Amino acid sequence: MMKTSNFITSILFAGTALVSCTDNFESINSNPNAPEQVSANLLTSTVTSEITRTLTQEGYSDGNTITQLMAKNNFPGFSQFDWGDQGMWNFFYNYLPEINDILEISRAEGSQNATYEGIALTLRALSFANLTDLYGHVPYTEAMAGESEGIFTPVYDDQETVYNGVLQDLAAADAALAKGEAITGSTGDVIYDGDASKWRKLANSLRLRYLMRISKQTDVSAEMQAIVSAGNYINSNDDNATLTYSGTSNTDSWPESTGRIGGFDEKSLCTTLLGYFEEFNDPRLDIWFDRNSDGEWIGIPIGLNQDNARAYDDANSPSRLDVELFYFSSTAAEAFIMKNSEVQFILAEAAERGFIAGSAADYYNAGIRASLAYWGVADDDIDAYLAQPSVQYDGSLELLLTQKTIALWNVDYQGWMDYRRTGIPALETGQDDLNGGRYPVRFLYPSSEQTLNTANYEAAVQAMGGEGDNINTPSWWETGTRY
């Protein structure tokens, strides 16, 4: 996990402001320093690269583990659900002030640019959605009202309030990016190089992701159908929101390629994913993993303690990650925010549930095709894969969401979010689970909040259920009754 600084200190330092209700959320108080000192392209370079790299690293390290795509044979505490501060809280709150600086610059007289505005709104929405999905109630309306309003202990807002703001930001981003305003010179954008049409597709694809997420609580059909009908969403791998590493430094290299081989070897194929791959005769097995020294595919169960994991590793030699792709190359593996495969699976589920028109099978097949093609599988082999009885779509959400989970490899914690919303694919704790047989559904608040924002922290914990700050308290969007 990234080393993190104190949240309240970052608020004091940033001095930027989000207003205190969603109706006037766009009114950003003045930051007298940053806009004059730092250009939008430099801020954009930092924010787009750090967010994309960190989300992917989180997916690789822990997101793949909690969805049982990988397991660890050393230091396996995370898969036993022995969780402390996970670090994402401070990461996002430390970068939100920079995002708001981009927004201020994009709206200021003399530096107005609708494309930068749309980028900033998209990244702000992405950041707050991650925060509330991972933690529950979070500071939002007062999140950065530091020097401007003198609020250094912000209240926590409920998830419905945060999601209202997230979806408003993404709709506003769509409108801003629809203008197609050019950026002269270096954009600083490591994802799309300032291409407004591509950012517009990402903003609307994130809208689809988050509308589906809250669909147990509210009818999202009209909004989802409007986005699909307009057609401005990620619909090919050329639209993927990805970062290609240059390999010129450790910072600009795939993270696992810069560490020691011993650390790399701690991650192995999980028995759960191996079961999926064997059922589907899936070519991604040979792309993501290496056979063991006996030429076999062997997985390791989730949730073993240190002694049992090491003993299992010694006795069975589980398959490690593909060393050429994920260790020896600093540039072959990419970082990403969102890919076409995820969007197609969202649309498949939406069609299956009757939220949008269209064929769930067609969207499902497009999701599989997009994922396999991204990982280099040839078209003929994709056709053969889709023709298998075990893969052919039969209206089963279990099949659809299992395939989606596989395609969400390395995509931060999105597979976990789907599991929490649907219970699919069914996941069971391991033999040495430390959470009483329960699969966790949120991260713990950082310890700094308990000591520096005590009253608001305690109010949030009480509002979410009053059982204390624990990893088993479900989110608002998990508890809806629409399906």
Residue 85 shares a structural domain with residue 174: yes
Q: Which of 62-76, 135-149, 212-226, 306-320 has the least mean pLDDT?
A: 135-149
The tokens for 186 are 């270096």
Average pLDDT (265-284) is 97
Give the separation between CA 160 and CA 217, rounded to whole angstroms: 9
Residue 153 shares a structural domain with residue 266: no
Residue 227 shares a structural domain with residue 268: no
Check residue 170 and give its pLDDT.
98
Give me the helices (H) in 339-392, please: 340-352, 360-374, 379-387
Average pLDDT (213-238) is 98
**Confidence category of residue 9, pLDDT binned at 50, 70, 90:** very low
Q: Which domain holds residue 314?
A: 255-328
Cα–Cα distance list, 75 to 261, 303, 308 (Å) = 15, 11, 11
Specify if 454 maps to a domain.
yes
More confident position, 230 or 11: 230
Specify if 409 maps to a domain.
no
Whether 45 and 331 have beta carbons less than 8 Å apart is answered as no
Average pLDDT (424-441) is 96
Specify if 228 maps to a domain.
yes
The tokens for 152 are 């250094």
Among 279, 297, 328, residue at a domain's last position: 328
Specify if 142 maps to a domain.
yes
**Residue range 24-67, pLDDT digits in tens:** 444 444 444 444 457 999 999 999 999 999 999 999 999 999 99
**418 closest CA partner among 351, 345, 470, 353:** 345
Check residue 17 and give its pLDDT.
38
Give the separation between CA 407 and CA 81, rounded to whole angstroms: 24
Question: Rg of the chain's alpha carbons, rounded to an integer?
Answer: 22
Residue 149 shares a structural domain with residue 269: no
Average pLDDT (414-433) is 97
The tokens for 121 are 């709104």
Residue 259 shares a structural domain with residue 230: no
How many percent of the chain have pLDDT more than 70? 92
Residue 192 shares a structural domain with residue 272: no
Q: Give the H or E element holding residue 449.
A: helix 447-452
How many structural domains are present in the chain? 2
Specify if 139 maps to a domain.
yes
Check residue 103 and give its pLDDT.
96
Bridging pattern class, strands 70-72 and 267-269: antiparallel
Give the separation between CA 363 and CA 288, rounded to whole angstroms: 24
Residue 58 shares a structural domain with residue 204: yes
Residue 96 shares a structural domain with residue 209: yes
Specify if 467 maps to a domain.
yes
Check residue 145 and give its pLDDT.
78
Among 328, 356, 379, residue at a domain's last position: 328
Q: Is the pLDDT of residue 388 over 90?
A: yes
Give me the helices (H) in 281-339, please: 284-288, 306-316, 323
Residue 125 shares a structural domain with residue 224: yes
Among 308, 328, 348, residue at a domain's last position: 328
| Region label for 384, one of left (φ > 0), alpha (ψ between -120 and 50) or beta (otherwise) | alpha
pTM score: 0.92
Residue 36 shares a structural domain with residue 154: yes
**Confidence category of residue 441, pLDDT binned at 50, 70, 90:** very high
CATH of the domain at 178: 1.25.40.390
Q: Which of 138-147, 189-198, 402-411 has the least mean pLDDT?
A: 138-147
Specify if 345 maps to a domain.
no
Check residue 472 and give its pLDDT.
96
**Mean pLDDT (the chain, rounded):** 92
Specify if 430 maps to a domain.
no
Check residue 150 and give its pLDDT.
79
Q: Give the H or E element holding residue 37.
A: helix 34-37
Q: Which residue has the tokens 């049409």?
A: 197
Check residue 268 and give its pLDDT.
97
Residue 232 shares a structural domain with residue 284: no
Give the separation between CA 344 and CA 98, rounded to whole angstroms: 32
Residue 192 shares a structural domain with residue 92: yes
State the amino acid at position 272 in one-letter form: T
**Residue range 96-108, pLDDT digits in tens:** 999 999 999 999 9
